[in-house]
Structure 1
C-alpha cells in the first residue's frame, strides 16, 4: 500500500499513479459496500506489485551506481509512511476513546500496538479472517498490508544488494523465491486461507512480481506498438475482471491472486506510450493515484466508525458520503501532512527524522498497551452502560484451558472435568462453541446433582460424526475431534449421560443469522454428492442420527438451539444507553421458530426414534413474543449468538433432567412448537 511516489532516482511515470487509482478506488468502494465492487479487495494485490516494482527499480539503480545506503532507504520509508500514519493513529485513538465500548476499545489498543510495530497482519491472522463480520469492527484492520510490506522490506534491500553484487545466478535465486512463495500460497489457501492471506511468506511472490518487472526478469521487450498496447490492455482487463467477478466466496489469494498481479505487472511492463498510458495518465486518475496512500489510510477507519455509530450497515447515500469524506480526509492528509514531511527541508538530518518518527510511535505504543491492560477504560461510561458492555467479556472462564483439546489429549483422556468432585466422570458434554458457552450453567447443575463430567468442546466443530465443514476448505480436524471424542465416551463405562450442543442452524441450514450473518456454509459427509442447502439438511439428519446411534447405551440429551439475535447485545444495548437511543428488542419468537422449524422437527423425530431427550433452551429464553437478551437487568449474551456465563447460569435448571436418576423417557421431552398452539 505504501508504494513510493515518483522519486528523483526514477523517471516519473504518470500511468503508474493512474494504476494506483485503479487499485485504491475498488478497495474503497468495496469496503463502503457499494454494489458491483465485491472483488475490490484485489486492489491491495495490485499495490503489492506496484510497490515491488518501484522499490526494486530504485534500489537496483542505486546498487548499480554504488550509491546504495540502508540508512537512506529507511529514511525514505519513514518520510513516506510515518507522518500520515501517525496522524491517522492520533485521530483514530481519539474517536475510539469517545465511541468504542470497552471490549472494542481494548481490542483497538492491541491493534494499535501491533500496527505501530508493523506486525498487525500477524495479530489479525491470529484473531480471525479478513472477511469475518468482526473484521468490520477493527478500525486498523487495513494496516495488515502495510505490515506485510515492511516485513518484506526489512530483508529485501540487503538481499538484493548481495544478489546483484555477489551472486552470478541472482535471477535464478529470485525466481526460486517467487515460485516457492507462490506454491506455498496456492497450497495453503484451500485449507488455511487466513494464513495465506495475512502472512508475508505467502505474499512475497506478489511483491517479487513487481521486482521482476523492474529487473526485466521474464518480461521481455516488445517493440511492436500494437502488441505492447494489447499486453497492457490485457493487464487492465485482468485487474477489472477480478474486481468485478470476485467476491468473499472466491478462494483467495491462491491461484486467483494471479489475475490482478499479472494484470498489474503487464500494465507496468508494457503500458508506456500506449493508449493505456494515456488513459491511466489522465489528470483525474493521477490525482487519485497521488492520494492513494492517504485514501487507503483514512477510508477504512471512517467506514468502521460510521457503522459503529449508526449500529447498522450503511445505506446507499451513506456509502457514497463516507467515500466523499474519505477523499476529503485523504486530500487534507496529502496536502498538509504527506507533502510537507516528504520535503527534506523538514527534519533535514537523519537523526532528527528518526526522533520525529520514534517519539510519537512510542507514545502510541504506550497508549495502546495502556488501553489494552486497562480493559478499554470501562470507567469512561456510567454504571448501566458498563454493565451492558462488559457482557462481552462474560464468557466461560475455563475456555482457554478446556476448549479445543487436540486429538492426542482426548485419546489419552486428558480432558477437563467439571461439576462435583468424584472418582469417575458420569457425563460428557460434546459440542462446539455453543457447548463451551453453556459450560458454566451445565457445571452448576452438575455440581448441585453431585455429578462430574468431561468437557469435549471445540469451537467451530459441530458435534456431528463424519461431517466436514466445507467452509474450512477441506480441513478435517473437526471430524477427527468428534471421532476421538465419541471413542473416548464409548470406552468410558462410567459415563451414563451425554449432552450434545451445537450451532445447528449453521450446520443444517448453511446460513448464519444476525450480526454474524453469512450464507454458503456447506457441510458434507461420505454420502454427499453435492454441496447445497438441501444437502446440508440431509447431512445434518444423517450425522445427528449417526452420532446418537453411536452413543447407544448412554442417555443422550440434545440441546435444541440458542436464539440468534439480530444485534450484538452487549455492544448495541450499551451503545444505545450511551447515546440515549431507543434500544432494539430481542429477535421475535415467530422469526426464531420459523428459522428453526426444520431443526426442531428433525431433532424431535430423532429423539423419539433413538430414545434421546431434548433440552429446550427456547422455553427458558423466549416468550410468545420475543427471545430475551437481558433478564433481571443482566446480559444473557456475550455476542449475537453465544450465551454469556450469566446467560448459561440463567438456564442451568434446564440441565437438571440430564443429571436426574428418574426414569428416562424421550417422549416426555420434545421441543415445543408454540406457533401451532
Structure 2
C-alpha cells in the first residue's frame, strides 16, 4: 500500500537536555544536508522523488492487474511501497522520539486520518456493488473480506483461503488489502520496538538489522515449503519495511553515509527494479531471495537523494509527483473496479474495458484525494474518532453480510450452484511443496512406494481424489508425487506449446525426463489434455500439426519407462461447450440471471472417442496400463453434466470439479494400489 506522504508539521524541540533536538522540516533544504548547528540532527526535507517512487510502485501494480500478460512482474510494486512506507513513517517516529513529542495516541490518530477516509469509501462502495452483481455465496464471502479489510487482517484471511476451495483472485474485490493489513500490523509493533530501544539507549541499527535478518530468514526458509505463508505472513514481510526504517535512521543520524555516487546509486537501484519486473512472474518463488531486487533497488534510490539526476528529473517530475499523491486511493480503487468488471462478465474483460476501468480509477482516486483524504488528514482527535466509528460501522455491515442477514439483488437459489462451479479448483491443496530428485514438486506421503504423476491440468484435476485416498488410509496407498505444468504436454520432444510459454513447457519436459528415470519412482502416471492436443479440429492442436508424430513420441516415451517401471496412461475426460456451466443460464448479473433448459447427458464426441481408442491401443502395445475415465463415467457413451442433486460436474468446458473427482474418480485408485 502506498505510504503516507512525507510532509510534516514542525516538530517541537524537547525540553530535556539529555536528548539531541532535530531541526524542523524545511522543505527548501537539500535532503540530508547538515544543520547549521553541528550538534543538531537534521530531519530530511520533503523530497518530491519519494512521491515519484510511490507513483512507480502503484503504476507497476495497476498495469500488472489490468494487463498481467504485458507486465507479469509488476506485482513487485507492492515491495516498493513497503520500503518507502517504512522510510517515511520511521522518519516521523524518530523525529518525535528524539524531540520528546512521541505519543502512541497521536501516532495512531495520524494513521487513522491518513488511511481510513479512502479505505472506508472503497469498502462501502464494494459492498454496494456486491449487492448489485453478486450471488448469495459470493456476497457472503465478500462480507467476510469486508470484515477483514476493516480490521486490517486481510492477509490472514486470504492465507487461510489460498489453495482450499479458493475462487479465482479476480473474484475477490478486496484481495489487494492484504498489503494494507501487513503494513498496519507492522505499525502496531514497530513504534513499540523503537520506543523500547530508544528509552534504553540501545544500538538501534544493530537491533533492527538482527530483527530484519530474522524476518528475511523466515521468508527464505518458508517460500519453498509454504509459499502462501511466505507471501502473506507479516513476519516474513516485515524486513521490507524495516529496510525503510534503517534508511530513515541513517538519514537522520549519518546522512553522508547513504550516498557514495548519487547518480550511479539511483541508476543501479532502478535497474534492479526493472530486472525484477522483467525476470519475475506469478510462478516465481516470491518473495524469497527474489524480493531483494525491488527492495534493495528502492533502498538505493531513496539513499541516492534528490540530487540524483533520475530522482530529480524523472521521479521528481510534476507527472510522477501528481500520481504519487493519489497513489493510495488509486491502489484501492483500481482493483475493486477490475474485480467487479471480471465478476460481471464471468471472465477477463477485453483490453479496452480494462483500460476504461483504469482511467475511471484514476478519476476516482483524484476525487477521493482532493475531496476526502486531504481535508480529513488535517483534522484533529475528533476527526480520528469519527473515522474510527465509520470503520467500525462498516465492519458490522460485513458481519451482517457474512451471516447472510443481507441478501443480494440476484437471489435465485437455482443459479447459485451453477455459478459456484466456475471457480471451483483445489489443486494443489493437500499436497506439500517440496524437492524430489532435484525438481520442485507437489507431494503427499503414503506407503513405501512412490508414484509419479506427470501431466497438465487434466492430470492435476485428480489431485483431490489422491489426497482423499491418502487421508483415509496412507498406509494402504503409495506415496504420490505430482510434477505438472498447466497447458503443457508431458511428453519429451513434443511439438505442443502453451501459447507464449514455450520455454516453460520445454523446461517442464526436461524435468519430466529426469524424474521418470529416478530409482525412487516405482510407477508413472501420464495424463494430459489429449483431446486438446491431438485432435485436428482443436484450436490448440500441436503446433507442428503432425499428430502421428506426437503419438509415436508418446509411444516411445512409454516404452522407455516401461522397461523397468509400471506405467499408466490416463486417457482424457470428455470435453466441449455442452459441459460448460456458463451455458446453463441466461441473462446478466446487471439485469437478471435465470437457468435455461439444457441437456442432462451429452453423447460422447466421435473424434474424442476415436482418439481414446487409438491411445488405448498405443498404450497396451507400449507396455502401459490404460486408465479410462469414459469407461466408468460414460458407460453408455452418454456423459452426465449434472449430479442428481443439481450440481454441475464440470468447472468449465474441460475440467472436472473437485467434489466430483473425490466421489466418482475411482478409476485413478489403481495407480496407488498396484
TM-score (norm 2): 0.70
In the TM superposition, what is the alpha-carbon distance from 1:171 to its structure 2 partner? 1.7
Out of 336, 341, 353, the residue aligned to residue 301 of structure 1 is 336
Which residue number in structure 2 is paired with residue 84 of structure 1?
118
Sort the Cα spacing of 1:565 and 1:27 in 2 relative to 1 into closer, same or farther, 3 A.
Answer: farther
Out of 397, 400, 410, the residue aligned to residue 370 of structure 1 is 400
- Give the Cα separation in 2 of the matches to 1:309 and 1:583: 17
Confirm or deny: 8 A CA contact 2:629 2:667 kept in the other structure: no
Within 5 Å, give how 1:318-329 maps onto structure 2: 318-329=353-364
Sort the Cα spacing of 1:645 and 1:274 in 2 relative to 1 into closer, same or farther, 3 A.
Answer: closer
- Give the Cα separation in 1 of the matches to 2:648 and 2:306: 62
Q: Which segment is superposed worse, 605-614 or 328-337?
A: 605-614
- Give the Cα separation in 1 of the matches to 2:280 and 2:411: 42
Out of 227, 235, 240, the residue aligned to residue 206 of structure 1 is 240
- Give the Cα separation in 1 of the matches to 2:99 and 2:584: 63
SS at match of 1:312: coil
Indicate yes or no: 2:138 matched with 1:138: no
Which residue number in structure 2 is paired with residue 158 of structure 1?
192
- Give the Cα separation in 2 of the matches to 1:391 and 1:224: 54
Out of 71, 90, 100, the residue aligned to residue 134 of structure 2 is 100
In the TM superposition, what is the alpha-carbon distance from 1:341 to its structure 2 partner? 1.2
In the TM superposition, what is the alpha-carbon distance from 1:230 to its structure 2 partner? 1.2
Q: Which segment is superposed worse, 307-316 or 194-203?
A: 307-316
Sort the Cα spacing of 1:378 and 1:319 in 2 relative to 1 into closer, same or farther, 3 A.
Answer: closer
Q: Which segment is superposed worse, 239-248 or 207-216?
A: 239-248
- Give the Cα separation in 2 of the matches to 1:224 and 1:82: 34
In the TM superposition, what is the alpha-carbon distance from 1:126 to its structure 2 partner? 1.9
Sort the Cα spacing of 1:559 and 1:58 in 2 relative to 1 into closer, same or farther, 3 A.
Answer: same
Which residue number in structure 2 is paired with residue 636 of structure 1?
648
- Give the Cα separation in 1 of the matches to 2:462 and 2:417: 23
Indicate yes or no: 2:615 matched with 1:601: yes
SS at match of 1:215: helix
Which consecutive unaligned segments of at least 5 residues does structure 2 have?
11-24, 26-44, 433-442, 449-458, 519-527, 529-549
- Give the Cα separation in 2 of the matches to 1:301 and 1:55: 26
Confirm or deny: 8 A CA contact 1:560 1:617 kept in the other structure: no
CA deviations over 1:245-277 (Å, ceiling 9, x no partner): 322233311111111111111111113222122
Within 5 Å, give how 1:54-73 maps onto structure 2: 54-73=88-107
Confirm or deny: 8 A CA contact 1:213 1:219 kept in the other structure: no
In the TM superposition, what is the alpha-carbon distance from 1:372 to its structure 2 partner? 2.5
Which residue number in structure 2 is paired with residue 21 of structure 1?
55
Which residue number in structure 2 is paired with residue 313 of structure 1?
348
Confirm or deny: 8 A CA contact 1:299 1:323 kept in the other structure: yes
Out of 361, 385, 388, the residue aligned to residue 418 of structure 2 is 388
Let me know the Cα RMSD of the aligned residues. 5.0
Indicate yes or no: 2:324 matched with 1:289: yes
Confirm or deny: 8 A CA contact 2:559 2:622 kept in the other structure: no
- Give the Cα separation in 1 of the matches to 2:248 and 2:607: 58
Sort the Cα spacing of 1:589 and 1:84 in 2 relative to 1 into closer, same or farther, 3 A.
Answer: farther
- Give the Cα separation in 2 of the matches to 1:327 and 1:622: 57
In the TM superposition, what is the alpha-carbon distance from 1:386 to its structure 2 partner? 3.9
Confirm or deny: 8 A CA contact 2:156 2:232 kept in the other structure: yes
Indicate yes or no: 2:231 matched with 1:197: yes
Indicate yes or no: 2:468 matched with 1:434: no
Which residue number in structure 1 is paired with residue 64 of structure 2?
30
Confirm or deny: 8 A CA contact 1:378 1:386 kept in the other structure: no
Confirm or deny: 8 A CA contact 2:628 2:667 kept in the other structure: no
Indicate yes or no: 2:312 matched with 1:277: yes
In the TM superposition, what is the alpha-carbon distance from 1:465 to its structure 2 partner? 5.8
Within 5 Å, give how 1:213-362 maps onto structure 2: 213-216=247-250, 227-275=261-309, 276-344=311-379, 348=380, 350=381, 352-362=382-392
- Give the Cα separation in 1 of the matches to 2:624 and 2:80: 56
The count of corresponding residues between Structure 1 and Structure 2 is 564
Which consecutive unaligned segments of at least 5 residues does structure 1 have?
413-430, 440-453, 472-502, 551-555, 660-677
TM-score (norm 1): 0.70
Which residue number in structure 1 is paired with residue 36 of structure 2?
none
CA deviations over 1:52-71 (Å, ceiling 9, x no partner): 00011110010000111000
CA deviations over 1:172-191 (Å, ceiling 9, x no partner): 11111111111221222233
Confirm or deny: 8 A CA contact 1:79 1:341 kept in the other structure: yes
Which residue number in structure 2 is paired with residue 3 of structure 1?
3
Out of 600, 604, 616, the residue aligned to residue 630 of structure 2 is 616
- Give the Cα separation in 2 of the matches to 1:87 and 1:80: 13
CA deviations over 1:633-677 (Å, ceiling 9, x no partner): 93423633664699679x96x979999xxxxxxxxxxxxxxxxxx
SS at match of 1:467: strand
Confirm or deny: 8 A CA contact 1:129 1:135 kept in the other structure: no
Sort the Cα spacing of 1:374 and 1:507 in 2 relative to 1 into closer, same or farther, 3 A.
Answer: farther
Sort the Cα spacing of 1:391 and 1:241 in 2 relative to 1 into closer, same or farther, 3 A.
Answer: closer
